[in-house]
Structure 1
């Protein structure tokens, strides 16, 4: 591997020779990366959701009966929006709004995130709106819902889901995991499995609303690159990240899209606390009970995870959908045959980039992002892709001549980025080793 400095690569990235980075795997299904329409759609015929003008909106929930949903009556309520604290013409309040939507804070390929205030507690929360306008969007939304609701315990380094609400035709229903009495929930699952539109129409769209804890510190990119290098913070973040991944793997969840964009920062306690977020590409691998039957039906047949004994061990559950983000994908993900060890590889890229502040310019967003890569001629190539092309390549860790990286961290990263997944530590071994190398530093 050739050595290089950041400025030289930044020049290449900004020039004609810049590698186009999509932010999603080239091998991923094209439907996963379709962009949502930039303009907000009408939620009710008489009401619209505002744009990013810092207007205050309120998410109102009220009791409503519906003959089609007799068995869901106790969970049904109407959704409407207020602007600047005033009711829209022709709308009468039935109950106090549950959330005030303050402003839009983020927009992705299939959802919009708002900062909001919970009316009952005054707490600041994040409200993510996902439009279920196509089967691929429903699949992403359900993946996040299944992953977060399958967690029976909380973890301080995993974003917490407070509630999820399904909205359709002006009515909203609180979602619960595996609720087979819910016609709306079953229709969502059917949409995902059959790959055809079942819910909603362009005139009457269907939405999933996720209410989650709000992280005011931005993402890991913003936090690291806006501050001076701090070895103490790096060590703390290494421990937090490995603890989060060990927790997810213990709960049979493979994230599949670990990257700095999907790691949020909470500063409520005074010191930065990392929160792994965005589970749209995640996979719940354990088919040990009925709660997980729907999500495993969608992909379990595509891997080698049919054996019950294999399913008990997340590192033996094979996945086949090549998805993720280029610069953090393991070599085997590019081939479409991998296990949870792919998360370990992605974590190695993140930690390496964080410690040495290695960045690239994303071709779409023009943002400077943390990420490690290999330089091949005039191109920068993701480490996983380069290792797939040349498995005997020896990674130059650390990259920078003046790096303060310890020998312990260097050896750890080499193991995390091993070409053969069997040579990588699992999440539980990794947690122990990170504690060892950070305590010695």
Structure 2
């Protein structure tokens, strides 16, 4: 198959940098006024004690109450959410605040998938974006979300909405939002970072090790991301050196409880989570490791395309199917037995060891591919030897 540049056939809407809108300011003001007027900012019909006694956020200059975060600007927009840069007023720390509107079951499903994945992690990992808190906003009131809170009627209604596939949270004129407060990555996504700088083999090697370390950590915790791509990999430079962060867990799956009898189409057996018996194994779909391969491939060779909607140059590997340009991951999903070759530029920095590893990650038979832990170990070996 020919790998080529071109326009992607289907793509989520990209983001840009915008100031907070007047509509957003009015909405924030309304929420905060309601929070200040209500008793302790509690949700209606709630029996738990998670309610916020103070305002959650602000985006205007003269809002009542004592908001915890101030929104600064919009930094990204997707098909079901908006991301803002914000500041925690108590500490002055920069954070990212993602607002997801829970107006349809499919949006709720995506929001809960991200919430469950990030809250299921007992430990932090420097290469996985950190969730600070999640807040449910409805009817002008805010409530802190906690995983599996059976005392929260609103949380249970969200779960019911996702499972039933029908709206159970009032009417469209009463919007419900989930707000995710996460660490802010000031250097943008992997596309922005790589393509705005000259090729740097050392940075590439570091990012390859960091990415495979993050994947191994997630798989150890029984989480499959399922949507790995440069857009969903953020870069932080707070420490002075670039640190990669895997983000956007809306399509992820928490796979705890799977066993060898519940194989998916492309299974892999990996070690269970912390504290589990080493003889107990969890099947995690290693078909998705091909996404990591494609990211590494595009990053080293700087293979790009122009997005048809945003007109941005993005990292990505594509093949030609007739007159169409199709992402390699999508083509592999449709035809897992498709054989791909790793092209290299005349002055490529890809070593023979890395090239062989990428080829193994794209093996036709999923059982011949390295699992996440083998991948992490081999990546350390080939990048140190290069």
TM-score greater than 0.5 by the shorter chain = yes
The 5 A counterparts of 1:235-254 are 235-254=205-224
Change (3 A) 1:198 1:422: same
Q: Structure 1 residue 435 and structure 2 residue 380: aligned?
A: yes
Which of the numbers 79, 84, 91 marks the counterpart of 1:109?
79
The answer to whether the aligner puts 1:347 opposite 2:292 as a matched pair is yes
- TM-score for both structures, normalised by structure 1: 0.75
Aligned residues: 364
Contact 2:135–2:142, Cα closer than 8 Å, also in 1: yes
Look up the SS of the partner of 1:68 in the other structure.
coil
1:138 alignment counterpart: 108
> Is 1:275 the equivalent of 2:251?
no
1:48 aligns with 2:27: yes
| CA 1:189–1:376: 2 relative to 1, 3 Å | closer
Specify the alignment match of 1:75 in structure 2: 51
Deviation at 1:382, TM superposition (A): 2.8
By how many angstroms is 1:398 displaced? 2.9
CA spacing shift, 1:410–1:114, aligned 2, 3 Å: same
User: Structure 1 pair 272/100, CA: closer, same or farther in 2 (3 Å)?
Assistant: same
Which residue pairs with 1:202 in the alignment?
A: 172
User: For 2:125, what is the secondary structure of its paired residue?
Assistant: coil
The one of 327, 338, 341 equivalent to 1:396 is 341
Measure, in 1, the Cα distance between the counterparts of 2:32 and 2:343: 50
Cα deviation, 1:305-359, whole Å, max 9, x if unaligned, reads 7xxxx897699867xxxxxxxxxxxxxxxxxxxx521331100000000000011
Residue correspondence of structure 1 range 17-416 to structure 2 within 5 A = 20-23=9-12, 47-49=26-28, 63-65=40-42, 68-69=45-46, 71-77=47-53, 79=55, 82-87=58-63, 92-93=64-65, 96-287=66-257, 304=263, 339-376=284-321, 378-387=323-332, 394-416=339-361
In the alignment, the residues of structure 1 paired with residue 332 and residue 41 of structure 2 have an alpha-carbon distance, to the nearest angstrom, of 57
Aligned to 1:53: none
2-side partners of 1:106 and 1:132: how far apart? 18
Check the 8 A contact 2:51/2:144 in 1, yes or no.
yes
Q: Secondary structure at the match of 2:48?
A: helix
Question: Deviation of residue 362 (structure 1)?
Answer: 1.9
Which structure 2 residue ranges, 5 or more long, are not aligned? 14-19, 274-279
Do the aligned residues in 1 keep the contact of 2:131 with 2:182 (CA within 8 Å)? yes
Cα deviation, residue 165, structure 1: 0.5
Specify whether residues 438 and 360 from structure 1 end up closer, same or farther in structure 2 by C-alpha distance, changes over 3 A only: same
CA RMSD of aligned residues (A): 3.1
What SS class does the counterpart of residue 96 from structure 2 fall into?
strand
Structure 1 unaligned residues grouped into runs of 5+: 25-38, 51-56, 289-299, 319-338
The 3-state SS of whatever aligns with 1:120 is coil
Tell me the CA shift for residue 236 of structure 1.
Answer: 0.1
Specify the alignment match of 1:297 in structure 2: none
Separation in structure 1 between the aligned mates of residue 333 and residue 45 of structure 2, nearest angstrom: 53
Go from structure 1 to structure 2 and tell me whether the alpha carbon gap of 1:60 and 1:160 turns closer, same or farther (over 3 Å shift): farther
Following the alignment from structure 1 to structure 2, what is the Cα–Cα distance between the partners of residues 155 and 59?
Answer: 38
| C-alpha contact (below 8 Å) 1:265/1:275 kept by paired residues | yes
Distance in 1 between the 2:338 and 2:68 partners? 55
Aligned-partner Cα distance in 2 for 1:206–1:422: 43
The structural deviation recorded for 1:249 is 0.2
Shift of residue 417 of structure 1? 1.2
Whether the 8 Å CA contact 1:21–1:364 is kept in 2: the answer is: no
Q: Is this contact kept in 1: 2:35–2:41, CA < 8 A?
A: no
8 Å Cα contact 2:9-2:324 kept in structure 1: no
Structure 1 residue 424 corresponds to structure 2 residue 369:
yes
CA gap of 1:67–1:391, structure 2 versus 1, over 3 A, is closer
- Give 3-state SS (helix, strand or coil) of 1:125's partner: strand
Whether contact under 8 Å (2:344, 2:350) holds in the other structure is no
Alpha-carbon offset, residue 370 of structure 1: 0.8
SS in 1 for 2:109: helix
1:121-160, Cα deviation, whole Å (9 max, x unpaired): 1100001111100000000000000000000000000000
Deviations 1:376-411 (Å, cap 9, x if unpaired)?
A: 454333334545677665433233233221110010
The 3 A distance-change label for structure 1 pair 58 and 239 is farther
Q: Is the 8 A contact 1:147 1:284 kept in 2?
A: yes
TM-score, normalised with respect to structure 2? 0.85
What is the distance in 1 between the residues matched to 2:60 and 2:8? 44
Report the Cα offset of residue 172 of structure 1.
1.1
